[in-house]
Amino acid sequence: MNDGNLGITKNYQRGFSECSGEYVAVLEGDDYWCSPKKLSSQLGFLDQHWECSLCSVNYLVYEEDRSQFTPRVPVGTSYRIIGARDLIADNLVGNFSTCMYRKSALDELPPGLFE
């Protein structure tokens, strides 16, 4: 146990290293999941799509000027596989709370990424 403040990045590194399951989902303190099926849907997707290291769900953005929630991308019934170039062009994932990761993919992240 570390008594000092590690910072968010090092805290994720420590947390990921302590996980023992096949999958990891993160819920950050200022987010919440609004679907009770989020985790089971993501688990099902990753079980069927071994080519994917993670999956993300659509999320709602609160528009203060309009006092309403709007989906980040139009709501659909299918999926879209994206790569690094897609994420650079437009961060569709948004944040950790939308994702479920394969633990094996997290284990392969280079330690320098958390510096």
Query: Residue 24's CB: how many other CB atoms inside 10 A?
Result: 18
For 56-83, b/e burial (b = at least 16 CB within 10 A) is: bbebeeeeeeeeeeeebeeeeeeeeeee
Q: Which of 8-12, 18-22, 103-107 has the lowest mean pLDDT?
A: 8-12
For residues 78 and 111, give the distance between their C-alpha atoms in angstroms, rounded to a whole number: 34
pTM of the model as a whole? 0.82
- Does the pLDDT at position 1 exceed 70? no
- Does the pLDDT at position 4 exceed 80? no
The secondary structure element, H or E, covering residue 29 is: none
pLDDT digits (tens, 9 = 90+) for 42-56: 999 999 999 999 999
| pLDDT computed for residue 80 by the predictor | 87
